Amino acid sequence: MVESPETADSSTTGASAASSPPLFEQSLEKLEALVSELESGELPLNEALACFEQGVRLTRECQNALNAAQQKVQLLLQRGEDIVLQQFEPSAGGELNPPE
């Protein structure tokens, strides 16, 4: 059976960043496991709905992580020779808003 959102969150908070895979990879692995379990067709309806809900959350987390990575790459490419990493906050629409 898949992890509930409560156990999924507690499993990542106790481990150090050096010993655990990055959050994107963890979320993607959990999402793949959820999809496999849902595709098996063996879950009762209430568990299937809970898995689907968790899958939607994980999909959004993965998409946000991919958007942030894409924005970082775009910032690096736009600066050309003057490559300087800067923290940025993605806008609500996912558009690139580099600091001025």
Alpha helices (runs of H) in 1-100, residue ranges in sequence order: 5-13, 23-40, 45-79
Q: How confident is the model at residue 16 (pLDDT cuts 50, 70, 90)?
A: very low
- List b or e across 9-43, with b for residues whose CB sees 16 or more CB atoms inside 10 angstroms: eeeeeeeeeeeeeeeeebbbebbeebeebbeeeeb
Q: Does the pLDDT at position 23 exceed 80?
A: yes
Q: Out of 2-11, 12-21, 23-32, which region has the weakest mean confidence (pLDDT)?
A: 2-11
> What pLDDT, on a 0 to 100 scale, did the predictor assign at position 47?
96
| pLDDT tens digits, one per residue of 44-97 | 999 999 999 999 999 999 999 999 999 988 888 877 666 566 666 666 655 555
Tell me the domains of the chain and their CATH numbers: 21-90+93-97 (1.10.287)
